[in-house]
Structure 1
Amino acid sequence: MTTARGPQRVDGWTASVRQRLGLGRLLPLGGPGDGAWIAETAAASVLCGAAALPGTVLGKLRIGPTEKALEAAVAGGGPDGVSRNPADPAPPPAPPSALPSGPLRIEAEFSTTPDRPLPDTAAALRAALLTAAAARLGLEIAEVDLTVTALLEAGATDQVTAGETAPPAPGAKPEGPVATAAAGVPGVVSLTRVLGGPVYTAHDHVRVEVATAGDHRALDVARSVRTAVAAAAEDRLPVSVLVTEVVSR
């Protein structure tokens, strides 16, 4: 037996898949107890904007786990190499395919003019990326690996070439006390629905998707969302937050 699918349904499913894949990796914000993640594309957009240095063009940028974190995860300990105490409260479950909490690594390519020593340019770029990751997002970056891909002519126009970008996440109107509480948190621009609905409730946790304002630290907003949702939810389930977009104002 076969069932025909209308063009509208197929187009909607395709758009949903593209939207999900366009997020890139889902990166942990803060520590294991923060229960917060951010889409790689959202984090990369902030980092690329912060790395707009004179005479420098930032190219491909990726964010992922360090080798140490991967080895620790395979060995069965925590991603930071420390085994968790069974008596400690379990952190909220991660979104599907999200990276576990642990130190991260930035890999980026850049081109620059030769009127400044390359080590100095790389050091300034590394400092800008680390500062933005901590102060504007809340990412734990342990390593920054930079590769020079080309030398530009002196006086070249300053540019930033972002890597992979995702289309704006579809917004969602808050429905119900949990969604309303999340939408009312300062720094939340809108609820989003990339992985499903803006509020996903399972038997053991609640997950909320949001877009945050660029003038608010993403981790701080996520923490406030968790607090607001936990107070509004009747069943007191653990709460996790996924930041799918950071919106500049």
Structure 2
Amino acid sequence: MSADRWTQAVRHQLGLGRLVPLGGPRDGCWLAESAGRSALRQAVQSVPGVRLGNLRIELADPEGSYESAVPAPPSALPPGPLRIVAECAAAPDEPLPTAASRLRAALNGAASDRLGLTVAEVDLRVTALLDDSAQAQPASGDAQADVADGEQAKGDTDEGRAARAALSVPGVARLTGSLGGLGRAVHIGERSEGAATLPRRHVRIELAVSGGRRVLDVARDVRTAVTGALADDPSVAVLVTAVQWPFW
């Protein structure tokens, strides 16, 4: 890889933010925080009387996380309940706790029903008041990481078969390649499950999601499709690096 492509790959990876767990420890699915932030912001932009500010997604209790059933992507957070930490501005024509409660409920609902995140709490702080002109402005956006399209769906290889299986799942918009090198969406390696067992192959696949399905449901179906497409029944982890809007 050239120096320019290496620099670009690092920039892509940093832009993803945290890799947060989708679902529970047996789901084997993760979501780039940048994609989650952008999707949540879009989902709550019509909530009246409030405007969402900074937002991050983190483990609610790092000591209360679980071991994943499959190897996690590099630097990914382990499965466990999450906390959404956000700031907002609210209109002064109603009690601030009322406005904050409305936004908190919308964030919690979108995280669960649209993304599939397991959220234990939403920590929301009102940091400013809105005037009439500010209320009319759209919420400032969290840009998703500029993910590159994967290019592995061609050829009679296991990578190609895995890529085509993933692309056949409803709700998959395209393959991406951000975490392990630009354009490389499918990563196949080996995992050892103990000295008494033979190594088992493990597949990690990166993709973008769109359409009217919950992101976790799409990712679960991708795991099933990729496992079925390869003869040796490998373990599979799915990393969703982008959520295309509108997705609901």
Q: Which runs of 5+ in 2 are unaligned?
A: 155-159, 192-201
Q: Normalised by the size of structure 2, how large is the TM-score?
A: 0.86
Q: State which of 226, 230, 238 in structure 2 corresponds to 1:233.
A: 230
Aligned residues: 225
What residue is the counterpart of 2:34 in the other structure? 41
What residue is the counterpart of 2:14 in the other structure? 21
What residue is the counterpart of 2:185 in the other structure? 198
Shift of 1:107: 0.4
2:217 corresponds to 1:216: no
What residue is the counterpart of 1:115 in the other structure? 93
What residue is the counterpart of 1:87 in the other structure? none
The runs of 4+ residues in structure 1 deviating greater than 3 Å are: none
Answer whether contact 1:60 1:162 (CA < 8 A) is retained. Answer: no
Shift of 1:158: 4.2
Name the CA distance, whole Å, in 2 between partners of 1:192 and 1:71.
32
Name the CA distance, whole Å, in 1 between partners of 2:146 and 2:16.
10
Q: Which runs of 5+ in 1 are unaligned?
A: 1-7, 73-78, 85-89
Amino acid at match of 1:91: A
Shift of 1:15: 1.0
Amino acid at match of 1:223: R
CA RMSD of aligned residues (A): 1.6
SS in 2 for 1:124: helix
Taking the TM superposition and a 5 Å limit, the aligned residue runs for 1:120-135 are 120-135=98-113
1:99-150 CA distances to partner (integer Å, 9 max, x unpaired)?
A: 0000000000011210121111111101100110011100000010111111
Q: Normalised by the size of structure 1, how large is the TM-score?
A: 0.86
What residue is the counterpart of 1:162 in the other structure? 141
Name the CA distance, whole Å, in 1 between partners of 2:211 and 2:18.
20
Name the CA distance, whole Å, in 2 between partners of 1:59 and 1:214.
26
Taking the TM superposition and a 5 Å limit, the aligned residue runs for 1:88-107 are 91-107=69-85
Q: State which of 71, 91, 107 in structure 1 corresponds to 2:63.
A: 71
Name the CA distance, whole Å, in 1 between partners of 2:10 and 2:146.
14
Answer whether contact 1:215 1:248 (CA < 8 A) is retained. Answer: no
Amino acid at match of 1:186: P
SS in 1 for 2:114: helix
1:170-227 CA distances to partner (integer Å, 9 max, x unpaired)?
A: 1123132111111111000001111122110111211111100052211000000000
Answer whether contact 1:108 1:146 (CA < 8 A) is retained. Answer: yes
Name the CA distance, whole Å, in 2 between partners of 1:119 and 1:107.
16
